[in-house]
Amino acid sequence: MALLLAWEVLVRAGIVDARFFPAPTSIFQRMFESIASGELYVHTWASLQRLFLGFWLGLVPGLLLGVVMGLSRGVRAALKPLVSGTYPIPKSALLPLILLVFGLGEMSKIVMVAIGVFYPVVLNTTSGVLQIQPTYYDVAKNFGAKKLQVFRTVAVPGAMPSIMTGVELGAGLGLILIAIAEMIGAKSGLGFMIWNAWQLYSVETMYVGLLVIAVIGYTMSLLLGSIARIVTPWRADR
């Protein structure tokens, strides 16, 4: 609040250029206008839909592959170099290729989010499974547990803290990538809203889009933090 007040005072005093950093009151006024017209709802809902679908499209394969890589030395030796080698590639640099393959429709945006979620999940899940003490696997084998039971009762619960870390990182990266994808290949969404505002030099609208993305990111962080405390109750007091 103090920062917003100082920002407002500096703009009103002419110390900060309002053309690039409009006063917070102007930004919030533009936000209320967008809400009243329904524009903000349309763009926010479009981004949330793409983010939700892409999140699950990247989470499920990343989780399954990460556990398998952690459990199987052969699979890990075969796939770890591929995953580690492609992970450093800037995900935004893949957008032209994704647009070429999937076109300008919804699937290209969903795939961008999925890629952003997949890598942190698979890498953190693999690391989490490898950190499980071999004693737990020995106990499971002594009780006659089959591979699927080991997967379900030992590998996934044991790696859950690392999995949740990967999920949080992936969700944040997915939010970044959906905004980038919408700036280039979409006619709706918060990324499109920001890019279109830049083209029209509507600076207040740009800040509204950025503010909404920040709120979504903070809300996701709180939600995933609550889920992490539920699925890893032994870490809740840390």
pLDDT at site 184: 82
Q: Which residues, including other chains, have CB under 8 Å from residue 199's CB and lie 6 or more apart?
A: none
d(C-alpha 155, C-alpha 140), whole Å: 11
Instruction: Please give the structure tokens belonging to residue 104.
Output: 């300008």
pLDDT at site 235: 65
Domain-embedded: residue 86: yes
Encode the chain (238 residues) as per-residue pLDDT tens digits. 777 788 778 878 878 777 788 888 888 899 999 999 999 999 999 999 999 999 999 999 999 999 889 888 898 899 989 998 888 888 888 888 888 888 878 898 999 999 999 999 999 999 988 888 877 777 777 777 777 777 777 777 888 888 999 999 999 999 999 999 888 877 889 999 999 988 888 899 999 999 999 999 999 999 998 888 888 776 655 5
d(C-alpha 87, C-alpha 120), whole Å: 9
Instruction: Please give the structure tokens belonging to residue 160.
Output: 């859950």
Domain-embedded: residue 122: yes
Look up residue 189 and give its amino acid: G
Domain-embedded: residue 111: yes
pLDDT at site 126: 92
Domain-embedded: residue 23: no
pLDDT at site 236: 55
- Count of domains in the chain? 1
Domain-embedded: residue 33: no
Q: Which domain holds residue 221?
A: 41-232
Domain-embedded: residue 135: yes
pLDDT at site 238: 52
Domain-embedded: residue 26: no
Cα–Cα separations (whole angstroms), residue 99 to 65, 175, 197:
25, 18, 23
Domain-embedded: residue 96: yes
pTM: 0.86
- The domain that holds 83 is classified in CATH as 1.10.3720.10
If we measure between CA atoms, which residue out of 143, 185, 166 comes closest to residue 55? 166
